[in-house]
């Protein structure tokens, strides 16, 4: 193998690794944004407290007490995977035009960005192995792991 072809192959490997790492982070962001947008851009949306009365089929329902300035809703649903148990009182933001709630506050914020945290953790392995950038990989990995641990502690 000539020096030129080896250089080209090494460049191709690094370019492919960079593309995979970028794709992981973008996919994690995109996956998180579906929920995070309601928590991050909550101004003008209905805020309140959800009291969980029952859970079935990966969805919990309950009564909703709106904050002043928010519209009342008879029954509100929230994904069961946000550590909701019967009798819990959760601060929520409602998705516009629906009765679907997204957990708000610090716990909701961290939970919404959980897919991005996992993507950072995975991308750190690609950055370390394929790009040979250990410091950058450590930063991405520690950021992802810290965000994941914080979300589980907050919930």
Interval 24-42 mean pLDDT: 95
Question: Which residues, in sequence order, are CB contacts of 83 under 8 Å at separation 6+?
Answer: 155
Q: Which band of pLDDT confidence, cut at 50, 70 and 90, is reported for residue 82?
A: low
Query: What's the pLDDT at 143?
Result: 97
**Side-chain half-sphere of 31: how many Cα atoms within 13 Å?**
15
Buried b / exposed e along 16-55 (16+ C-beta atoms within 10 A): ebeebbeebbeebeebbeebbebbeebeebbbbbbebeeb
Interval 27-36 mean pLDDT: 95
Query: What's the pLDDT at 83?
Result: 67
Q: Which band of pLDDT confidence, cut at 50, 70 and 90, is reported for residue 21?
A: very high
- pLDDT per residue as tens digits for the range 44-53: 899 999 999 9
Q: To the nearest whole percent, how much of the chain has pLDDT over 90?
A: 74
Residue extents of the structural domains in the chain = 23-41+106-155, 43-103
Interval 115-120 mean pLDDT: 97
Residue 23 scores a pLDDT above 70: yes
Q: Which band of pLDDT confidence, cut at 50, 70 and 90, is reported for residue 113?
A: very high
Average pLDDT, the chain: 92
Question: Which residues, in sequence order, are CB contacts of 76 under 8 Å at separation 6+?
Answer: 50, 61, 62, 63, 64, 92, 94, 99, 100, 101
Helix and strand numbers (H, E) in the chain are: 4, 5
Q: DSSP secondary-structure letter at 133?
A: -
Interval 117-126 mean pLDDT: 97
Q: Which band of pLDDT confidence, cut at 50, 70 and 90, is reported for residue 28?
A: very high
User: Would the pTM count as exceeding 0.95?
Assistant: no
Query: What's the pLDDT at 125?
Result: 96
């Amino acid at each position: 193998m000539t020096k030129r072809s080896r250089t080209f192959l090494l460049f191709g490997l690094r370019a492919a690794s960079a593309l995979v790492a970028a794709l992981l982070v973008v996919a994690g962001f995109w996956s998180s944004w579906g929920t995070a947008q309601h928590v991050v851009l909550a101004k003008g949306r209905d805020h309140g407290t959800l009291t969980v009365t029952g859970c079935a089929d990966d969805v919990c329902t309950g009564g909703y007490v709106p904050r002043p300035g928010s519209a009342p809703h008879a029954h509100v649903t929230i994904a069961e995977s946000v550590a909701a148990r019967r009798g819990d009182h959760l601060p929520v933001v409602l998705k516009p035009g629906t009765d679907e709630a997204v957990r708000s506050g610090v716990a909701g914020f961290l939970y919404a960005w959980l897919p991005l945290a996992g993507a950072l953790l995975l991308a750190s392995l690609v950055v370390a192995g394929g790009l040979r950038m250990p410091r950058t990989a450590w930063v991405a990995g520690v950021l992802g792991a810290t965000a994941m641990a914080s979300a589980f502690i907050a919930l």
